[in-house]
Homo-oligomer: A and B are copies of this chain.
Amino acid sequence: MLADSGSAGERLLDPARDHQLLPVTDAGRRWVAIAESALPAIAERAREHDAAGTFPHESIRELQANGFLAGQVPESLGGLGATSVHDWVVAMTRLARADAAVAISANMHLLGTWRQVRIWDDARARGDHARLERLEGYLRAVGEGRLISCGTTTEPGTSLVEPRTALTRNGDGWILNGRKGFGTMSPAADVIFVTARMPGDDGGALLATVVVPTTSPGVTVLENWDALGMRASGSNDVEFADVEVPADSVVPSGPYGELTPHFLTVFGPGVLGLVGAFAGIAEAARGQVSELLRTRRRGPSGALLATRRQIQHEFGQLEVGLAACRAVVARAGSLLDDYFTRVPESAATQQELLSMMRDVQCAKQFVTREAVTVVDRALTLSGGAGYAAKSPLSRMYRDVRAGSFMQPFSPLEGFEYVGGVGLGVDMRTSGQ
Give me the interface of A with B, judged by CB distance under 8 Å.
1-2, 5-9, 11-17, 19, 53, 154, 157-159, 162, 181-182, 226-229, 231, 255, 257, 261, 290, 293-294, 296-300, 306-307, 309-320, 323-324, 326-328, 330-332, 335, 349-352, 354-355, 358-359, 362-363, 365-366, 379-380, 383-384, 387-390, 394, 397-398, 401-402, 404-405, 410-430, 432
CA distance A388 to B225 in the complex (A): 8
**Residues in B whose Cβ lies below 8 Å from that of A181:** 384
Q: Known contacts A312-B415, A314-B419, A320-B415; can you find 20 more A-B pairs with CB under 8 A?
A: A1-B349, A2-B350, A7-B429, A8-B420, A13-B425, A13-B426, A16-B422, A16-B424, A19-B335, A154-B384, A157-B297, A306-B424, A312-B417, A312-B423, A316-B415, A317-B415, A319-B362, A323-B362, A324-B362, A327-B332
**What is the chain B residue whose CB lies nearest that of A335?**
B19
Q: Tell whether, in the assembled complex, residue A405 and residue B425 are in contact, meaning their CB atoms are under 8 Å apart.
A: no
- Pick from B314, B330, B359, B425: contact of A19, CB under 8 Å: B359
Q: Which B residues touch A310, using CB under 8 A?
A: 309-310, 313, 412-413, 416
- Beta-carbon nearest neighbor of A18 in chain B: B422
Copies of this polypeptide in the complex: 4
A-B contact pairs, 22 of them (CB 8 A): A1-B349, A2-B428, A7-B429, A11-B426, A15-B422, A15-B423, A16-B424, A17-B352, A228-B387, A228-B397, A290-B422, A293-B423, A313-B419, A316-B417, A320-B362, A323-B328, A324-B327, A327-B328, A327-B331, A379-B401, A380-B404, A380-B410
Residue pair A419, B316 in contact (C-beta under 8 Å): yes
**A419 close to B319 (CB less than 8 A):** yes
Chain B residue with the shortest CB-CB distance to A14: B424
**In the complex, chain B residues whose CB is within 8 Å of the CB of A11:** 426
Contacting pair A319 B7 (CB below 8 A): no
A-B CB proximity, top 10 nearest = A316-B419, A316-B415, A315-B419, A312-B419, A316-B418, A327-B331, A228-B394, A306-B423, A12-B424, A327-B327
B16 and A432 contacting across the interface, CB-CB below 8 Å: no
Asked whether, in the complex, the Cβ of B328 is within 8 Å of the Cβ of A428, the reply is no
Specify which chain B residues have a CB less than 8 angstroms from the CB of A324 in the assembled complex: 324, 327-328, 362, 366
List, in ascending order, chain B residues with CB within 8 A of A419's CB.
311-319
Specify which of A7, A327, A397, A414 lies most central, judged by the most chain B CB atoms within 10 Å of its CB.
A327
B-chain residues with CB within 8 Å of residue A412 when the two chains form the complex? 310-311, 313-314, 380
Q: Is the CB of B315 within 8 A of A423?
A: yes
Q: Given A2-B426, A313-B412, A380-B411: A388 and B227 within 8 A (CB)?
A: yes
The reply to whether B1 and A425 contact each other, CB–CB distance below 8 Å, is no
List chain B residues, Cβ under 8 A from A261: 1
Provide the residues of chain B in CB contact with A401, threshold 8 Å.
379, 387, 397
Nearest chain B residue, comparing its CB with the CB of A413: B310
B16 touching A355, Cβ below 8 Å? yes
In the complex, what's the smallest C-beta–C-beta distance from A397 to chain B, in angstroms? 6
With a cutoff of 8 Å between Cβ atoms, the chain B residues found around residue A318 in the complex are 419
Q: How far is the CA of A330 from the CA of B326 in the complex (A)?
A: 12
Contact status B362-A424, CB under 8 Å: no
A14: chain B residues at CB < 8 Å are 351, 424
A244-B159 Cα distance, complex, nearest whole Å: 56
**A335 surroundings in chain B (CB, below 8 A):** 19
Q: Which residues of B contact A9 (CB under 8 A)?
A: 425-426
| Structural contact, A326 and B331, CB atoms closer than 8 A | yes
Please, which residues of chain B bring their CB within 8 A of the CB of A417? 312, 316
